[in-house]
Amino acid sequence: MESQSRSIHNKRSTAMIPALLFLSLIHGVHCFYLPGVAPEDFQKGDPLKVKVNKLTSIKTQLPYSYYSLPFCTPEKIVDSAENLGEVLRGDRIENSPYAFTMQEPQLCTALCRIMIDAKTAKQFKVKIDDEYRVNMILDNLPLVVPIKRLDQASNTVYQLGYHIGLKGQYAGNKEEKYFIHNHLAFTVKYHRDLRTGSSRIVGFEVKPYSIKHEYEGKWSEKTRLTTCDPHAKRTVVNSNTPLEVEVNKEIIFSYDVEYQESDVKWASRWDSYLLMSDDQIHWFSIVNSLMIVLFLTGMVAMIMLRTLYRDISKYNELETQEEALEETGWKLVHGDVFRPPSNSDLLCVYVGTGVQFLGMVLVTMIFAVLGFLSPSNRGGLMTAMLLLWVSMGIFAGYASTNLYKMFKGAEWKKIAAKTAFMFPAIVFVIFFVLNALIWGQKSSGAVPFGTMFALVFLWFGISVPLVIVGGYVGFKKPAMEDPVKTNKIPRQIPEQAWYMNPIFSILIGGILPFGAVFIELFFILTSIWLNQFYYMFGFLFLVFIILVITCAEITIVLCYFQLCSEDYKWWWRSYLTSGSSALYLFLYAAFYFFTKLEITKLVSGILYFGYMLIASYAFFVLTGTIGFYACFCFTRLIYSSLKID
C-alpha cells in the first residue's frame, strides 16, 4: 500500500491516467483507499494539536458542536477551515485545551473544574440518555475506542469517539444514575524513521473513565489530585468510584497520555481503523449479482438470435407456426414503435437528469477507487459529488434537447430550463424543510446561511448555464432518424394478458436491479446512519457495473415481451421498469429503520425518511435512464434489420 501511495503521489501526470484507470480495474477490490493527506513528521518534544469535532448519536442523528456542552475550553476557540462536504455532514472542527507533547507521557493532568448547576446537569443527562459520543482528531486521525472481542476474527475492533457518559446503578440500589466520563487515558501510536529520527503518528486511541476526583485544600490551577498522582505514578485504571452528574457538585476533567512505538507505517495507518472482516459477504454479493447478470445475458442473447438472425438470413429456414406467431407481434407494430410518447417533454427532462447523474456517479467511482476520496479526506466524497453534479450539467442539457429534437420539438430552451431546475428544485425543497427541522433542534448539522448561498450559487451560477449550453449544442446537432417510418394513424393495441399489465411488469422489472445491490446497500446505510466508515469502493465499483448491466438487460427483455404483445408504448415503460428499483430501495430503507436503528424521536425519523426519499429519487432517475437508453438502442437495432417496403 505504501508503494502504491508513493507511485500515485509521484506520477500524477496526464500520461499516467489511462494506466491508473487500468490498474484500478484490476486491483480495485484489494486497494480500497490511499491516504488523502501528506504525512507530517514530528520530533521528540514537538507540540501536537488535538482538535475536537462534533458530538454524534446514532439514536438522534443530530450532531452538535463539542462546546455546546460545558466542557473545558481553551483561551480562545478557533474554528478549523472546513470544506463544503464537512459542513454538510455537520462537522465542526475546533481547537481543544488538551496539550500533547510528542513522546513525552503525561499522567493525571488536570484540565479544569466546572460546577454543575441545574441547566448543566440537564444538558449532560439528555446527551447521556441519547448515547452521544465525543469525536476528536489528531494529525487527521479520528479518536477511537479499542474494544476487545473474542468472537471476532480480529481481537480488537474500534469505535469512533467515546461516550460522554453512561447510566448505571449503585450496588443494592435500583435507582438509575447518570455518570460522566471525566478522565481520558489517551494512547498515541507513532512510527519512527530510523534514518531521520523523526516520527509519524499512526494511531489515536482512548479509554474513558468516570472517577470522582479528590484533592486537598481549596481548588486552584496548581492543585494536586489525590485520586491519581503522577509523582507516585498512581493512575486511573477503572471506574470503581464513578462521578455522578448531580446539581451543585463539581466535575474535574483530567487525562493521561501514553506514547507507543508501532511497526505500522504511515501509509497503512488507516488499516486498523478500516479492518475488513466481512469480505466474504461482499464476494457473495458479487457472485449473486453475477448470476443474475448471466441469466439475463442468456435471455437477451436468445432474443437477439431468434429475431435478428432470421431477419438477416431472410427467413431461409422454415419456422413452426408457434414461432411465426411469436415473431409476428413485434414486427406488426413497426409503424408505431417510434411514435412520440405522451408527456414527451417530461421524459426528455428525466433522461437528461439521469445522464447528469450517471456521469457524476461514474467519475466519482473512478476517483474513489483510485483513492482520492479515502476516509482520511473528510467531506471529500460529498464535495466531489456536488462539484461533479454541477459540471455534468452540460451533458444533461445535451441529452434532453437532442432527444426532444428527435420527437420533432422546437422549444429547446423550455426543455433545457426544465432540466436545469426540476430535479434540483424538488431536492432543494425537501432539503430546505429538513434543514429547518435540524435548525429548530439547534444542531450543528443545520447548514449555515453562507453554505446555503454557496449551494444556490453552484446551482444557478454553474449548473444552470452549463445545462443551457449543453441544450444549445444538443439541439443544433441533427436528430437521429428513425429506422422505420411512423404511420399517421395510431394502431389499436390489442387486449393484453394479465402479466403484461404495465404496473405489474414495471414492478417486476425493478426487483432484479435492486437484488444486485441490496447487500452493498446494507453496508452503505450502516456507514451513514451508524457512524461508520465506508471504504470498500472496489466492491462498490463492481456492484455499480453489475447494476448498469442488470438494468439494461431486464429492460430489454421486458421491452421485447411488450412489443411481441403488439404494445408499442415502450418509451415511458422502459424508463419506469428499471427505475422502479428505487421503490424497493425506499422500502428496504424503511425495513432497515425499524430493524437496525434505535431512533425514537419524531424529528430524527423525519430526517431519516426525508434523506432516504432524496436518495431513492436520485436512484430512480439513474436506473431509469440506464434502462431507457438500453431499450432505445435495442429497438433501433431490431427494427433497422427489417426490410420494409
Name the β-bridge partners of 137: 51, 142
CB 437 within 8 A of CB 608: no
Alpha carbon distance 580, 515 (integer Å): 12
Mean pLDDT (whole number) for 117-140? 91
CA 289-294-296 angle, to 5 degrees, is 95
Q: What would the DSSP string read from start to end of 358-377?
A: HHHHHHHHHHHHHTTT-TTS
Q: What does the block give as the cell for 267?
A: 501509509
Query: Bigger pLDDT: 468 or 311?
Result: 468
Distance CA 241, CA 63 (A): 30
Q: Is the pLDDT of residue 312 over 50?
A: no
Q: Where do the DSSP E strands lie in 367-482? A: none
Q: What sign results for the dihedral spanned by CA atoms 304, 307, 309, 312?
A: negative
pLDDT tens string 272-296 = 777 644 566 667 777 777 787 787 7
| Of 400 and 300, more confident | 400
Cell 443494592, residue located = 172
Q: Please, which residues have CB within 8 angstroms of residue 386's CB and are 6 or more apart in sequence?
A: 84, 85, 455, 458
The span from the CA of 129 to the CA of 147, in Å, is 21
Check residue 565 and give its pLDDT: 84
Which pLDDT band, with edges at 50, 70 and 90, does 310 fall under?
low
Cα dist from 198 to 2, 35, 301, whole Å? 18, 19, 62
Q: Is the pLDDT of residue 424 over 90?
A: yes
Hey, which residues does 167 pair with through a beta bridge? 178
**Confidence category of residue 416, pLDDT binned at 50, 70, 90:** very high
pLDDT at 644 over 60: no
